[in-house]
Amino acid sequence: MDVDTRSPSESPVRTFLVAIGLAIFGILVAELTTAPALLLEPGLLDAPGETSIPLRTLFFVLNFLGFVLAGGIYIAATDRDWSFVDLRVPTSRDWRYVLAGIVLSILFYLGVNVTITLLELPSAESQVIDFVGNDQTMILVMLAIVFLFNAPAEEFLFRNIVQKRLYAAFSRMQAVVGASLIFATIHLPTYLLYAESPLATLVSLSIVFGGSLVFGYVYAKTDNLLVPAAAHAVFNAIQFGLLYLAVEYDLEGVEPETTGALVDVLSAIGF
């Protein structure tokens, strides 16, 4: 594990601003990497559900590869090597944290939904639904994307790069909170555009922030990128699984509130 300790007395303000810059850089790189898909099919911008499944798949894959590319550029620009990436075979302790991450994220998700229902709070709709719609084949494709691209790429950028960068000036738990604040903040443009009210925006940002806390925590406790990636992937897969069942059995009101880079994809292109 190569923790960023080269500036232990680094200014917290500077460190936080650098971390914000890294997150924004990741979004900008993702915009560039998705450009080929948008050039091939401009309809991905305004009517993605009407485009072909291969092109929608290409868009998501290129977006998440953009996150990886952004993190790789940071590693190269700071004269590190790939040992900076916290990847190793999970231990039994790591697997326990994977399970804890899955359970905590599900409990958080259920608690949020109960709270929203009881208090009749508004929330912004997930724009990922525009890409998926009621297409069961695309939902199954998204299940594969979640495991192969979404969770690994998002956790790499926002945990192994952004959160780890915050370790230079903050405690582990402070870095978890800081990275989660950054993660929630980058969703703000999307929710400002599509939420029905400021309260809906606040509720949705709170959901994103809470989910990020869970994955940031298990990463901070294990220093193994596979742990939050696995927990994140299973959590999002459960959501898409519920959506698949809702479509298959024509159920109503089972749209998942997606809380990962799936929404960041749409933020990156200004939805």
- Tens of pLDDT along 102-157? 999 999 989 988 998 898 888 776 677 788 877 899 999 999 999 999 999 999 99
CA distance 12 to 102: 31
Contact 140, 243 (CB under 8 A): no
- Specify the pLDDT at position 270: 32
Q: Is residue 3 part of a domain?
A: no
Q: Is residue 6 part of a domain?
A: no
268: pLDDT confidence band, cut at 50, 70 and 90? very low
Contact 169, 19 (CB under 8 A): no
Q: Cα dist. 122→17, 119, 200 in Å?
A: 31, 9, 5
The mean pLDDT of 19-28, rounded to a whole number, is 96
3-state secondary structure of 249: coil
Q: Is residue 248 part of a domain?
A: yes
Q: Is the pLDDT of residue 2 over 80?
A: no
266: pLDDT confidence band, cut at 50, 70 and 90? very low
In total, how many domains does the chain have?
1
195: pLDDT confidence band, cut at 50, 70 and 90? low
State the amino acid at position 12 in one-letter form. Answer: P
Q: Is residue 52 part of a domain?
A: yes
Task: Give the range of the structural domain holding residue 237, as residue numbers without chain letter.
Answer: 12-268
DSSP-derived letter for residue 91 is: -
Contact 166, 179 (CB under 8 A): yes
Give pLDDT tens digits for 63-78. 999 999 999 999 999 9
Q: Is the pLDDT of residue 269 over 90?
A: no
CA distance 219 to 213: 10
- How far separated are the first and last CA of the chain, in Å rounded? 37
**Poorest-confidence range of 56-60, 116-120, 139-143, 176-180?**
116-120
| Verdict on whether the full-model pTM lies above 0.85 | yes
More confident residue, 182 or 193: 182
The mean pLDDT of 38-64, rounded to a whole number, is 94
- Which residues neighbour 152 within 8 Å (Cβ) at sequence distance 6 or greater? 64, 68, 225, 229, 233
- Specify the pLDDT at position 197: 81
CA distance 145 to 237: 9
Q: Is the pLDDT of residue 97 over 90?
A: yes
CA distance 73 to 130: 31
- Specify the pLDDT at position 177: 98
Q: Is residue 254 part of a domain?
A: yes
CA distance 22 to 28: 10
CA distance 144 to 161: 24
Q: Is residue 133 part of a domain?
A: yes
Closest CA to 261 of 23, 123, 85, 64: 64
